[in-house]
Amino acid sequence: MPDETERVPEKHRTVQNIIREKENSIRRQPFESAFLYNAQGILILSKAGVQYTVEFTREETSLMKGAILTHNHPRGLEYPDSDIRSWGNSFSDSDIALASTHELAEIRVVTPKQRFSMKPPAEGWSLSYWEDTLKPTLDEVEVWVYDEFDARIAQKRLTPTEAQALHWHEVWLQVARRLGLEYAQEED
């Protein structure tokens, strides 16, 4: 049976549908790939990386302002489906540094079982926003998450494996709440 996106007439495909189709095609790749789309959903950059990273040139990052970047995190493929770590990880700090310093409209990541999205706050983001606001908040929140997870592990309300799997999601959830970023997570 064809999937829903294949039945949508071309003229009715949205930018989100176009990006989701690409994400579905890369979610189980054993290496990272990145795709940059403009606001109309036109692919402007496609880049294959290595196992856990994609590197960009200065010329490539100059295309990012106002665009949507999606990529995959294959680390969850290392674990059996019964292991919570098979869900994969949310954004790394490098992902959000790239998004904010190059002023992406949205950064997305797809894992074997999840999809994450981060958009800037209403006032936008930039290199100075990253350095002066976002990075210091991230550092503060990361300490809080480690302490919170350690307490939950000690109380046997969380296992170390669960803490490892949920770390980045909890960090970005808390950072987004504090700074007004638009963060979303969706299980597939």
Of 65, 17, 5, whose CA–CA distance to 41 is shortest? 17
Does residue 171 surpass a pLDDT of 60? yes
Q: Could you tell me which residues come within 8 angstroms of residue 117 by beta carbon, excluding any fewer than 6 positions away?
A: 106, 107, 108, 182, 183, 184
pTM more than 0.85: yes
* Strand partners of residue 110: 72, 115
Say if residues 50 and 31 touch (Cβ distance below 8 Å): yes
Angle, helices 93-101/135-154, rounded to nearest 10 degrees = 160
Q: Tell me the average pLDDT across 140-155.
A: 97
With bands split at pLDDT 50, 70 and 90, how would you rate the model's confidence at 188? confident
Query: Mean pLDDT over all residues of the chain?
Result: 93
